Amino acid sequence: MKSIKIIYLCIISVVVILLICLGISKYLELDMPVYFENFCEYETFYEENPDGTSYIQDLNFSIQYVTNVSDSRTVSTIHFPYAPEIYAQGSNYNQSFSFFSYDNNQISARTYGRYSVRDLYINVMFDQLFDDIILTKAIIYYNNGDMQEVELGKIVLRCHESQVNYIVSESSGGSNDGTAFNTYRITKDVELVDITSPFKYLIDEIFEITINNVDYKDISGTQLKEGSSLRIEIASKNALNESMIYNIYRLLPMINYQDMDGNKYSIPIYNVGYIPIYDADFTFSGLINYFNSKGAL
């Protein structure tokens, strides 16, 4: 019977394709989840109440990692070996409450080919005022008992004492073309001193920041009169290469200024960052190229 050949041919074709798909999947499989690097600053505020008690708000932030699409493990605990003084919780479940939904049963994950990009939400609690804490490594514990030591990049946790400010934030905005702006109102005559950041090398490499149309490095001595305004513009230089494209950049450079009596103040510049979130940022082939550049495959 001639038609028996067609079914053999069809079955063989399907089986061959199956084997090729499984072979490629096996080749692309990650041994362990890969954590994207973070170059971030997060701040919290220390407040003293009139009755003498003090309060520091918890810090909540997230990091991203990629694992195999069929990986059913979730993160159960996180520990920072170089900052043993802080108490942190890590979870794939977003515990945050929004007006429209409260869903803490679904892990935050997006699928790209054989990979799943997942968010790890971290909550850090403090009980006293602290100097900058720098997190570079973390030990991740998964719910199946696995443990993984990961390089985080550099995450700076900062605590400010609430202080009076004479440069008051008025508005801010951003665009998906990588530009952002912040405007401020000046409520007292002040003079800009400088801008400081633990990531100054990155700011120069990745961003262009202008303050009232002047490069941020040249603002020292700029006088600002009461009632005037300050506009900070941030633009991305599109300088992220293949090994940087999935990193999280969230920088908070500080504008340091003084009043005419020499009292010093500072305020952070917001919207200096790049956070890959959307499908436009992640692709299956992009992730494969990233792993190849990192030697993870």
The residue ranges that bind another protein (CB under 8 A) are: 1, 3, 6-7, 10-11, 13-15, 17-18, 21-22, 24-26, 69-70, 72, 111-114, 284
Q: Identify which of 242, 246, 238 has the alpha carbon closest to the alpha carbon of residue 177.
A: 238
The CB density around residue 274, as the number of other CB atoms within 10 Å, is 19
Q: How far is the CB of 87 from another protein (least distance, A)?
A: 33
With contact defined as beta carbons under 8 Å apart, do 225 and 187 qualify?
A: no
Q: How far is the CB of 266 from another protein (least distance, A)?
A: 46
Closer residue to another protein, CB minimum distance, 102 or 284: 284
Q: How far is the CB of 33 from another protein (least distance, A)?
A: 15
Closer residue to another protein, CB minimum distance, 6 or 280: 6
Q: How far is the CB of 108 from another protein (least distance, A)?
A: 16
Spatial distance between the Cα atoms of 120 and 115, rounded to a whole number of angstroms: 16
H/E stretch holding 24 reads helix 3-28
Closer residue to another protein, CB minimum distance, 42 or 115: 115
With contact defined as beta carbons under 8 Å apart, do 68 and 29 qualify?
A: yes
With contact defined as beta carbons under 8 Å apart, do 212 and 231 qualify?
A: yes
Closer residue to another protein, CB minimum distance, 174 or 276: 276
Q: Identify which of 160, 252, 152 has the alpha carbon closest to the alpha carbon of residue 199.
A: 252
Q: Which residue has the tokens 């708000």?
A: 57
Q: How far is the CB of 113 from another protein (least distance, A)?
A: 5
Q: How far is the CB of 62 from another protein (least distance, A)?
A: 23
Closer residue to another protein, CB minimum distance, 56 or 107: 107
With contact defined as beta carbons under 8 Å apart, do 109 and 33 qualify?
A: no
Closer residue to another protein, CB minimum distance, 69 or 296: 69
| Rg value, the chain, Cα | 24
